């Protein structure tokens, strides 16, 4: 999962604000950052799994028919006002 990357200059700026926090707030922030890092490592997936050829046992006509039958026609929606 991609995230925001900060330069060292920007990190130092944030640290300037954060170092004035009380100990309880600092511990809470550390805990939240640690949890977010654990979530990030669990959400990683192999990019190669999204590539490849289409595999299906149905004929192309069957697939086209299914797509056409699943379409929802937009009706005239009532305007608000």
pLDDT for 44 equals 66
Separation of alpha carbons 70 and 65, rounded Å? 9
Mean pLDDT over 18-42 rounds to 88
Q: pLDDT band at residue 13, thresholds of 50, 70 and 90?
A: very high
Separation of alpha carbons 63 and 65, rounded Å? 5
pLDDT for 5 equals 84
Contact 40, 3 (CB under 8 A): yes
What average pLDDT does the chain have? 83
pTM of the model: 0.44
Alpha helices (H) along 2-79: 8-18, 23-42, 60-70
Mean pLDDT over 13-23 rounds to 92
Q: Which two tokens stand for residue 52?
A: 């490849």
pLDDT for 52 equals 79
Does the pLDDT value for residue 76 go beyond 70?
A: no
pLDDT for 73 equals 74
């Amino acid at each position: 999962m991609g995230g925001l990357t900060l330069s060292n200059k920007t990190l130092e700026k944030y640290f300037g604000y954060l170092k004035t926090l009380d100990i309880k707030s600092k511990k809470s922030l550390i805990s939240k950052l640690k949890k977010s890092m654990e979530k990030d490592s669990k959400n990683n997936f192999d990019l190669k799994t999204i590539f490849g050829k289409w595999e299906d046992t149905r004929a192309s006509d069957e697939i086209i028919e299914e797509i056409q039958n699943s379409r929802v026609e937009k009706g005239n929606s009532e305007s608000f006002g």
